[in-house]
Amino acid sequence: MFPEVHEQQGVKLLFNRKTQNKFTINHSDFIFEYNVENDFEKEFQLYLRAFVDTIVNRVFKKFKLKNINRFGFVIKSELQDNDDLLSQVSEIIKKTNNGSGTNSLSLRFNVINKKPLKIGKITTQDFDNRIITYDRANSDSPLFFSVDYQKYYKPELQTIEDSVVSFEDFCNNHYNSFTSEYER
Q: What is the pLDDT of residues 31-82, one digit of tens each?
A: 777 766 777 788 888 878 887 888 788 878 888 888 888 888 888 878 777 6
Domains identified in the chain, total number: 1
In a domain, 83, yes or no: yes
Question: Is the preceding peptide bond at 155 cis, omega within 30 degrees of 0?
Answer: yes
Residue 112 is predicted with a pLDDT of 95
Residues 52 and 168 sit within 8 Å (Cβ to Cβ):
yes
Strand 4-8 to strand 30-33: parallel, antiparallel, or no bridges (unpaired)? unpaired
In a domain, 17, yes or no: no
Mean pLDDT within 93-117: 82
**What is the mean pLDDT of the segment spanning 79-105?**
75
Whether residue 7 lies inside any domain: the answer is: no
pLDDT of residue 108: 93
Task: Say how far apart CA 16 and CA 143 lie, in whole Å.
Answer: 23
Task: Report the predicted TM-score, pTM, of the whole model to 2 decimal places.
Answer: 0.75
Q: Tell me whether residue 27 is in a domain.
A: no
Is residue 2 within 8 A of residue 24, CB to CB? The reply is no
* pLDDT > 70? residue 152: yes
Reported as a pLDDT band with limits 50, 70 and 90, residue 29 is low
Segments forming the whole domain that contains residue 122 = 34-182
The separation between CA 150 and the C-alpha centre of its own chain, rounded to angstroms, equals 7
Q: How many CB atoms lie within 10 A of CB 120?
A: 5
